A = this chain, B = another copy of it.
């Protein structure tokens, strides 16, 4: 084995360790912030927030939501029921493929999502505002690498 390979392998292991040291607690903290905003002010759960967010992003089917969240379709179906009951989303029709039931945010769901989203964004901004331009670029670049590496 060459020296170059050893260095690469060390870098790779270091990146994996770094990921595991960093991402779970950071993600838990950010989720904690969303939970506080969403449950205290708007009476929705973090999971419901995620579903609204994905629907707005264009993931409008139960199957797509299940895929991105890596949980069962039935779990999504049940969560969707609750959001429909609350008038935050609605089920549409797809005449091309009638098995598919596209989901759509209602006006009320759209506003609620905006409100939670904006508060979380302000909190994240307050944390990140002291970072340098260089650091922000590194973060953005890293996100692109992670996306392409772990995309389905």
**Which A residues are within 8 Å of any B CB, using their own CB?**
7-8, 11-16, 18-32, 35, 50, 53, 68-70, 121, 124-125, 127-129, 131, 133, 135-147, 149-152
B68 close to A129 (CB less than 8 A): no
Question: Per a CB cutoff under 8 Å, which of B21, B25, B139 touches A142?
Answer: B139
Q: Count this chain's copies in the assembly.
A: 2
B150 close to A29 (CB less than 8 A): yes
B25 close to A68 (CB less than 8 A): yes
Chain A contact residues, majority secondary structure: helix
6 further interface pairs, Cβ-Cβ under 8 Å (given A135-B145, A141-B142): A11-B133, A12-B136, A14-B136, A15-B136, A22-B146, A29-B150
Within the assembled complex, what's the spacing in Å between the Cα atoms of A19 and B27?
Answer: 10
Within the assembled complex, what's the spacing in Å between the Cα atoms of A133 and B70?
Answer: 30
Given A28-B70, A138-B141, A143-B23: A150 and B129 within 8 A (CB)? no
A139 close to B50 (CB less than 8 A): no
A16 close to B124 (CB less than 8 A): yes
Q: List 29 A-B contacts (CB under 8 A).
A: A7-B133, A8-B133, A8-B136, A11-B133, A11-B137, A12-B131, A15-B139, A15-B140, A16-B125, A19-B124, A22-B143, A24-B27, A24-B68, A25-B68, A25-B150, A25-B151, A26-B146, A26-B150, A27-B27, A28-B70, A29-B150, A30-B150, A31-B70, A32-B70, A35-B70, A131-B149, A139-B142, A139-B146, A141-B142
